[in-house]
Chains A and B, each alone.
Chain A
Amino acid sequence: QKEVEQDPGPLSVPEGAIVSLNCTYSNSAFQYFMWYRQYSRKGPELLMYTYSSGNKEDGRFTAQVDKSSKYISLFIRDSQPSDSATYLCAMSVPGNQFYFGTGTSLTVIP
C-alpha cells in the first residue's frame, strides 16, 4: 500500500465551479499536510499548509485535514482557468521524509 494515494484525474470543470481534490494516507504519524500547485514545465509551488487536523482558508482555497479518516482535501471556489494545473498533496512526519501524492491534473474550462 502506498503511503499517499491521490486520484490522478484528469479533472475538467467549467469556470466558476467548486473543485474538490483529495488524498488519503496510511501513516497516522503524519502531522504536516501540504498542497502544491504545479504548472506545466515548472516546479511545484506551495499553495496551502496545515498542521494536524482542521481547516485552513486562504482566499478561494480551503484545505481540510481529517486525521481520524486519514483524508485530506483541497477545495477551490469560483475556479478560474488560471487554476488549471496539477495539484500535489504532500505530508510528513516532522523532521522526516516527505511523501507526495501522484498529483491530480485539473483543467478549468472558460
Chain B
Amino acid sequence: GAVVSQHPSRVICKSGTSVKIECRSLDFQATTMFWYRQFPKQSLMLMATSNEGSKATYEQGVEKDKFLINHASLTLSTLTVTSAHPEDSSFYICSARDPLAGGIADTQYFGPGTRLTVL
C-alpha cells in the first residue's frame, strides 16, 4: 500500500512554544491530506482537511489560528501547533488521500503519528 511518513514521531516541548509536524506522501501525490487528533483509547477526531494550494478546512471547534496547516505541495502538509499548552498534548495523525493508489479508488493512508507532550 501507499506510504505516508510523519516527522517527528515524538516531541516534548515547553508551554508557549510552537511545534511543527510534517506529513509526507512518499510514493503518490496527495491532493488532499487530513489531520487527526487522538486521545488515549479514543477514536480519531478529524481536525482539518488540507487541499494542496488552498486554505485548510477546519472542523467545528478547532482553532485555525492555533493549529496552522500548510499544504504547499502534493506530497507535503505541515501542522504547526502555536503557543502550545499542556492541554494540546495528544497523538496527532495525518493521512493522505490517493484516489488511485494501487488501483484502490479513494482511500486514506495514515502516517505513523506524532506524540506531542507539552510540559
Which residues of A are at the interface with B, using a C-beta cutoff of 8 A?
A: 32, 34, 36, 41-46, 49, 51, 88, 90, 92, 94-95, 97-98, 100-103, 105
Contact = CB atoms under 8 A, between A and B. Distances in A.
A100 B43 contact: yes
B106 A92 contact: yes
30 contacts: A32-B105, A32-B106, A32-B107, A34-B107, A36-B110, A41-B91, A41-B113, A41-B115, A42-B112, A42-B113, A43-B4, A43-B6, A43-B95, A44-B93, A44-B95, A44-B110, A46-B1, A46-B107, A51-B105, A88-B43, A88-B44, A90-B108, A92-B106, A94-B105, A95-B106, A98-B34, A98-B108, A100-B43, A102-B42, A103-B43
Interface string B80-92: 0000000000010
Contacts, number: 50
Interface residues of B, number: 24
| Chain A contact residues: helix, strand, loop or mixed | strand
Nearest to A10: B41
